[in-house]
Structure 1
Amino acid sequence: MAAVYKSLNKGSKEGAGRAGDAEKPKNRQRVLILSSRGVTMRHRHLLNDLHSLLPHSRKDAKLDTKTQLSQLNELADLYNCNNVLFFEARKGKDLYIWLSKPPNGPTIKMHCQNVHTTEELNFTGNCLKGSRPILSFDASFDKQAHTRVMKELLTHTFGVPPGSRKVKPFTDHVMGFTLADGKVWIRCYQISETEAAKHPKPTADETTPADPTSLPSITGRPGETSISLVEIGPRLVLTPIVILEGSFGGPVIYENKEFVSPNQIRSDLRRAKAGRYNERTEGTLERKNRHRDLGLRTGEGVKQVDPLDNRVVFA
């Protein structure tokens, strides 16, 4: 189907001439997707879901190092990719996602949490493999400088160019990026089209959809199609940490001061539990010392003899 579509477009473009084609720049984007050692099953399934949603991506083997990330620039040059999506796993439980534009940058490091893959969500929506998505960004991305940089990198990474090799000439799903509470919430929906005659216009009580994963449909006149959005998956939330000027290096141009690492959170929880244990231990020791001073413990301390004791009076 894609070959027939390209052959028909080629015939129409030859008549237009080469002058018009030279004026329109070509969008050449290719994404290299790979992970580090130590990823969990959930992280690996998320990587496969994103790879299936991005037909212009190339998946590579795991990277052996976590300190020399500059090697990713050489891999991107080797595979002719100008975008890198790197999954860095820490301690088998924390996942960090790097978005970079090699070889000159910039680079964004984000903490990924609340991951739900497509298989475990078991949504009813579906989309054609190889189709192009519609990217929907929240208006909050245009308010600050670092959010505009994030929007640009997300557009280059998740925006599928029309001239890619594995792209089908269809657009049947939407990828939504919402900025809330300092985090980027990513959702994916299928564009479902049905005839308006089969579904009458909803009443005031039926405006809210029964399925929480679907959005209200857009109905038209009888004979027209009704468009609705059904969630596909996956779901994930990204918290930006730093933005580097170069590709996996360079000076820091933005740093999220409100971000707290999961290691610090776990350390604070352990310290709080240890504090409660230390309080109980100190209370027990103080009680034993007090009983010892009063002579209430056998064999410890000197018990003061009462002058009115029978042993003293009748001695």
Structure 2
Amino acid sequence: MPAKNSKKRIRALLQKHDKIAVKKPEEPEVPATRRSDDGLDVNGEPLAKRTKWTNRTRTLILASRTITSRGRHLMRDFQEMMPHHKRESKFNHKVNLYTVNEMAEAKNCQKVMLFEGRAHKDLFFWMTNVNGGPGIRFEVLNIHTMRELKMTGNCLKGSRPLLSFDENFNSAPHWKLIKEMFIQTMGVPNQHPKSQPFFDKVFTFSIVDEKVWFRNYQIIEESGALSEIGPRMVLDPIKIFEGSFCGKAIWENVEYITPRKKRAALRNPLKYRQKKQSKAVYHLTKPTETGFSIDPLDQVFADEPRDEDSD
């Protein structure tokens, strides 16, 4: 019995020795994936750079306290369509509009979209560049919001829009300026943190009867099929100012008629027609030269002596 036990112990010791002597296979080395100081990878090729958010343009969207409910819904539609916007509470309409520039600078915004209400009936739209102007004022007509239209089109929130402009925007200098302001204000910057990296909607701007017609469409297929989303509006340009809410007017729409005059013409069309006719006659008969006109023939007989009256 002791000889058998000793043989078992020897065999157990030999097995342990064999297990210790067996070496495990070496694992392959993992290639280095960290970026080196020279900007090259393991193979010596330059690493692909990540695209950055370079265009940091922000747009401040706000309204005055005299705005109507439809104008407020239109403002909210634009806030949902533009992910690069900043919000601000309503401001008093009696305050000078130049203070809006200070509000934009506090929000670090370079563009401003202001919806201004007048007489609780009319809606005006300002689109300005805070840094050096210009500023454009429109009258908003034929407003239809998203909830009011209930169109079949739909798009993802935060997606970037394509801006489509009519050929008539290249017909005059003031239309070119308005087109550039629309691009800089409503165009979503590339790689914006709150935007989606694709296009699925189109903002269309067309000129009809010297007014800007705005529509918003969804891109359904790559073939170009569109479906309207909303909102709708018509912008009648009034003036273009040199600065942001300040400066002299560099362009003015001569054919523009204020909403009050339109309502007055509807109440009393005969009186309005007489005023227009008298104004046209005044412009036709208005003297073009300044001062008094002197007839040279009046001095022909000035040097001759006058005949004395006989008694």
TM-based fold match above 0.5 = yes
Residues 206-258 of structure 1 show CA distances to partners (whole Å, capped at 9, x for unaligned) of xxxxxxxxxxxxxxxxxxx6441000000000000000000100011000001
CA contact (8 A) 1:36 1:66 kept: no
Specify every segment of 5 or more residues in structure 2 that has no aligned partner in the other structure, as ranges: 1-40, 273-311
In structure 2, which of residues 219, 228, 233 is the aligned counterpart of residue 231 of structure 1?
Answer: 228
Structure 2 residue 148 is matched with structure 1 residue 148: no
Distance 1:121 1:17 in 2: 44
Deviation (angstroms), 1:41: 1.2
SS in 1 for 2:76: helix
Which residue identity is paired with 2:234? V
Distance 2:62 2:49 in 1: 41
Distance 2:194 2:156 in 1: 12
Deviation (angstroms), 1:40: 1.3
CA contact (8 A) 1:86 1:97 kept: yes
Structure 2 residue 70 is matched with structure 1 residue 38: no
SS in 1 for 2:196: coil
* 2:201 equivalent in structure 1: 173
Deviation (angstroms), 1:27: 2.2
Distance 1:142 1:272 in 2: 37
Which residue identity is paired with 1:99? M
SS in 1 for 2:180: helix
* 1:295 equivalent in structure 2: none
* 1:137 equivalent in structure 2: 165
Distance 2:219 2:173 in 1: 32
Distance 2:116 2:238 in 1: 14
Residues 168-215 of structure 1 show CA distances to partners (whole Å, capped at 9, x for unaligned) of 11210000000111100000000002xxxxxxxxxxxxxxxxxxxxxx
Instruction: Give the direction of change, closer, same or farther, for the CA distance of 1:117–1:25 in structure 2 (3 Å limit).
Output: closer
SS in 1 for 2:220: strand
CA contact (8 A) 2:53 2:192 kept: no
* 1:91 equivalent in structure 2: 119
Distance 1:52 1:35 in 2: 15
Distance 2:142 2:263 in 1: 17
Question: After superposition, where does 1:57-96 map in structure 2 within 5 Å?
Answer: 57-96=85-124
Instruction: Give the direction of change, closer, same or farther, for the CA distance of 1:226–1:145 in structure 2 (3 Å limit).
Output: closer
Distance 2:253 2:269 in 1: 26
Give the number of the structure with larger relative contact order, counting CA–CA contacts within 8 Å between residues 6 or more apart.
Answer: 1
SS in 1 for 2:126: strand
Distance 1:69 1:163 in 2: 32
Task: Say what the alpha-carbon RMSD is for the aligned residues.
Answer: 2.1
* 1:107 equivalent in structure 2: 135
Distance 2:245 2:97 in 1: 6
Instruction: Give the direction of change, closer, same or farther, for the CA distance of 1:179–1:65 in structure 2 (3 Å limit).
Output: same
If the length of structure 1 is used for normalisation, what is the TM-score?
0.69
Deviation (angstroms), 1:16: 4.3
Deviation (angstroms), 1:17: 5.8
User: Share of identical aligned residues, percent?
Assistant: 46
Distance 2:237 2:271 in 1: 31
Specify every segment of 5 or more residues in structure 1 that has no aligned partner in the other structure, as ranges: 1-11, 194-224, 276-315
Question: After superposition, where does 1:185-264 map in structure 2 within 5 Å?
Answer: 185-193=213-221, 226-264=223-261
Distance 1:170 1:46 in 2: 24
Distance 1:55 1:25 in 2: 14
Structure 2 residue 211 is matched with structure 1 residue 183: yes
Deviation (angstroms), 1:266: 1.1
Moved over 6 A (4+): none
CA contact (8 A) 1:35 1:63 kept: yes
Residues 62-83 of structure 1 show CA distances to partners (whole Å, capped at 9, x for unaligned) of 0113450001110110000000
Residues 82-118 of structure 1 show CA distances to partners (whole Å, capped at 9, x for unaligned) of 0000000011110000000003100000000100000
Greater Rg over alpha carbons, structure: 2
Distance 2:94 2:60 in 1: 17
